[in-house]
Amino acid sequence: MKTKKSAAKRFKVRASGSIKRSQAFKRHILTKKTTKNKRQLRGTENIHSSDIASVRAMLPYA
C-alpha cells in the first residue's frame, strides 16, 4: 500500500491518534478579509469525525 502523498502533506497524526489539519481560506485575496477573520484562521483544527475513516485510509502507515 502506498501513502497518498497529497494527504500526507495536508494532515498530521498526533500522538493521541487525532488528526490535525490547517485552516483553509488563508492563502490569497487577504485584503478583503477582516483582521479578525484572518486571526481566527490561524493555527490547526481537528478533522471532522465523518472524515476520519477516509483520511486514515489515505495514510496507512501514520
* pLDDT for the residue numbered 48: 97
Q: Where are the alpha helices (DSSP H) in 1-62?
A: 5-10, 35-40, 52-58
Provide the domain limits for residue 43.
Answer: 5-58
Q: Give the per-residue pLDDT at 14.
A: 96
The DSSP element (H or E) to which 22 belongs, if any, is strand 19-22
Residue type, 44: T
Question: What φ, ψ does residue 8 adopt, rounded to 5°?
Answer: -65, -30
- What's the structural domain count of the chain? 1
Question: pTM of the full predicted structure?
Answer: 0.84
Q: What is the pLDDT along the chain (62 residues), one digit of tens a residue?
A: 999 999 999 999 999 999 999 999 999 999 999 999 999 999 999 999 999 999 999 999 98
Whole-angstrom Cα Rg for the chain: 14
Q: What is the CATH number of the domain that holds 54?
A: 4.10.410.60
